Amino acid sequence: MTIKIPMDKIQKECTICGKQFVPKTVNSVYCSKNCSEAAYRKKKALEKKEAERKAVVEKISADRLYISVSEAIALFGIAKSTLYRLIRQRRISTINLGTRLVRIDRAAIEEMFPIRQTPVVKDKPKAKLYSLEPEDCYTIGEISQKFGIPIARSISIFASFLFLYVKLGTMSMFQKLKSTICILGNNSIAT
């Protein structure tokens, strides 16, 4: 069963500025053209930075015993401040060849940090999949018995809160949700 909700009732939060907005389409993520362009610029800057990182990593030969700070940052994906802190704490052995020529022992840093093959990318949240199989649903009788509600009242409550349901013959089956809260007058019920 498809539940239609008017688009003017849905509020989304812009991923760039954080403002609440009414989306023009279901896939809208940004509140305005400016935010969309800012996201595009940010995406292109990240792609450029990743391309530069890959170029630096490709230049590093596997047989070099000591690497520069910028090479270590690109190869291991750690922050510059973290790297210098570890050097100050003498947890990583280094050689200073002159001004701005600090070289880091590659074997020591490889023990501390594994080599990063791909950048860390957050996965998109997966769409919720609802199962309307009988074993994943409550019948009206189970609802009234579990929550102590009259049958007529339970039908109106679950229908008004837009629970997913399916009709199997003469039976109405309502989706079992893991964290569903229904307000019944002064009583609150959680499943």
Q: For residue 30, is it within any domain? A: no
Q: For residue 42, is it within any domain? A: yes
**Final residue of a structural domain among 112, 146, 167:** 112
The domain of 145 spans: 134-190
Q: What is the mean pLDDT of residues 13-25?
A: 87
Is residue 46 left, alpha or beta, with left meaning phi > 0 and alpha meaning psi from -120 to 50?
A: alpha
Torsion 125-126-127-130 (CA) sign? negative
**Residues 48, 108 share a domain:** yes
Q: What is the mean pLDDT of residues 2-27?
A: 77
Task: Kindly give the pairing relationship between strand 137-139 and strand 171-175.
Answer: antiparallel
Q: For residue 18, is it within any domain? A: no
**What pLDDT, in 10s, does the model give residues 124-137?**
666 556 666 667 67
SS3 43: helix
Q: Using an 8 Å Cβ cutoff, are 56 and 74 in contact?
A: yes
H or E stretch at 96: strand 94-96
Q: What is the mean pLDDT of residues 150-170?
A: 65
**What pLDDT, in 10s, does the model give residues 32-78?**
999 999 999 999 999 999 999 889 888 888 888 899 998 888 888 88
Q: For residue 72, is it within any domain? A: yes
pLDDT of residue 33: 92
Give the number of domains in the chain. 2
Mean pLDDT value across the chain:
76
Which residues, other chains included, contact 68 with Cβ-Cβ below 8 Å and sequence gap of 6+? 101, 102, 103, 104
When pLDDT is cut at 50, 70 and 90, the band that residue 140 belongs to is confident
**Residues 159, 103 share a domain:** no
Q: For residue 19, is it within any domain? A: no
Place of tokens 């990593």: 57
Q: What is the mean pLDDT of residues 98-122?
A: 78
pLDDT of residue 182: 39
**Residues 146, 99 share a domain:** no
**Domain CATH for 67:** 1.10.10
Q: What is the CA radius of gyration of the chain?
A: 28
Q: For residue 20, is it within any domain? A: no
Q: For residue 16, is it within any domain? A: no
pLDDT of residue 4: 59
Q: For residue 138, is it within any domain? A: yes
Rounded Cα–Cα distance for residues 168 and 183 (Å): 27
